Amino acid sequence: MGYTITEKILLKHTKLKSIHPGEFIDAKVDLCLGNDITAPIAIEEFERLGAKKVFDKKKVVLVPDHFAPAKDMASANQCKRLATFSKQYEIKHYFEVGKMGVEHALLPEIGLVLPGELIIGADSHTCTYGALGAFSTGVGSTDLAAAMVTGEVWLKVPESMKFIFHGKLGKWVGGKDLILHTIGDIGVDGARYRAMEFCGEVIEKLPMEDRLTMCNMAIEAGGKNGIIAPDKITADYIRSIKNKAKPGIGKVYASDKDAKYHSVREYDCRKIEPLVACPSLPSNVKPVRALKDVTIDQVVIGSCTNGRISDLRIAAKILKGKKVKHGVRLIVIPATQKIYMDAVNEGLARIFIDAGGVFSTPTCGPCLGGHMGILAAGERAISTTNRNFVGRMGDPTSEVYLSNPAVAAASAVKGRIAHPEEVR
């Protein structure tokens, strides 16, 4: 019997000759990641274990991005813990404010992720890197601590689900809509502890940014990981980075024709239109046109899901020459310093500011209700982020709607949830 791409990568990182879904394995990691919320706990465990060094100074990554730039004394101390640990143990990949970005946008951008690698992170959206053909998954802080010491992770081999996307994408439809459609179909636990493998002619033509968006939200369906087989788009993306520390394009794997899947689902993308996930689950998906009476107080464009330069270009295309509706807050947050500078150099930042929005330094702040856009009681936001649980962005009585950047930008102009065609 053949293997899926996920099974092949996991097997390669063990000493075993074969594996099967449901089996528990010890696997070597190529990279382990922590942020300013999760890493301090891992550091406590690391020290409690009495470890004298990390397993590899080049394979531990620490990124203060959730409450950074520090919003208060507590968050400042959290960030300091990362800085102190990185200096003490000579961590090569520590990214201070001014160099950091939202972790799951930063790591692919600088070439720290390659196809065929096994990556863990103490953050649920670590599954993002499956877009590059890597096995990547979120773990707890204690698992991160163990990996920093041993270079290994203990996990169960997941079953795989295959999602095949046929047809052609309509106007204003992108990776965000494909993953929202998928989550709406199977539910927030429909892929619980399973690998979500995305394929089909639509995926084969999908830009890397959209692939990253799709794999980022695999966890919102309960997935252990999301993954897309590497191809020319993957190789071109990696070569464009020119990371001398990691030359080549990694190890390319693909699922065998006789690989066994838990289930296979097929979608006709010609029937998929711009979508919105309504409160308070990512699976509560409705077409944009069905929500035209929903007024909003705030719009957030950014995050590890949709804060890349292509996302900002789409939003700017909608907003150019227009004004944000009076009484609505527009917050635009590029996901990395490079994206920030690209947006400035391309004139995108000027478009957002002229429209009446604010343009922020990279941070995860509003996505998790940390800072830079907390919602008050009864307020309503539409956001390009990945989660809309009760109280996710602020007061428990506030509401969060999730969408792609074009819908978010159009909604900022209209002051209500709007289809991009309404403002073009």
Which uninterrupted H or E stretch holds 156? strand 152-156
pTM of the predicted model over 0.95: yes
d(CA 218, CA 6): 14
Assigned token pair, 349: 């930042």
Pick from 80, 266, 245, 49: nearest CA to 150:
49
Secondary structure E strands in 269-393: 275-277, 285-287, 298-302, 329-333, 358-359, 380-383
> In one letter, which amino acid is 19?
I
pLDDT (0 to 100) of residue 407? 98
For the chain, domain boundaries: 5-267, 276-422
The domains spanning 5-267 and 276-422 adopt the same CATH topology: yes
Q: Could you tell me the fold of the domain covering 276-422?
A: Aconitase; domain 3 (3.30.499)
pLDDT (0 to 100) of residue 1? 78
pLDDT (0 to 100) of residue 174? 98
* Positions in the chain whose pLDDT score sits under 70: none
Assigned token pair, 97: 């404010």
Pick from 317, 269, 274: nearest CA to 173:
274
Pick from 147, 115, 43: nearest CA to 86:
43
d(CA 230, CA 133): 5
d(CA 306, CA 60): 25
pLDDT (0 to 100) of residue 299? 98
Helices 309-319 and 208-216, axial angle in degrees (round to 10): 100
Assigned token pair, 207: 């830009």
Residue with tokens 């990949």: 93
Is beta strand 329-333 parallel, antiparallel or unpaired with respect to 298-302? parallel
pLDDT (0 to 100) of residue 243? 81
Pick from 176, 154, 155: nearest CA to 272:
176
Residues 6+ apart with CB under 8 A from 418: 288, 292, 407, 410, 411
Phi, psi of 381 (to 5 degrees): -130, 150
d(CA 99, CA 214): 26
d(CA 237, CA 177): 22
Q: What is the dihedral of CA 311, 314, 320, 326, to 10 degrees?
A: -60
pLDDT (0 to 100) of residue 247? 81
pLDDT (0 to 100) of residue 242? 82
Under CATH, which number does the domain 5-267 receive? Answer: 3.30.499.10
pLDDT (0 to 100) of residue 147? 98
Buried b or exposed e, range 41-80, using 16+ CB within 10 angstroms: bbbebbeeeebeebbeeebbbbbbbbbbbbeeeebbebbe
Is beta strand 298-302 parallel, antiparallel or unpaired with respect to 380-383? parallel
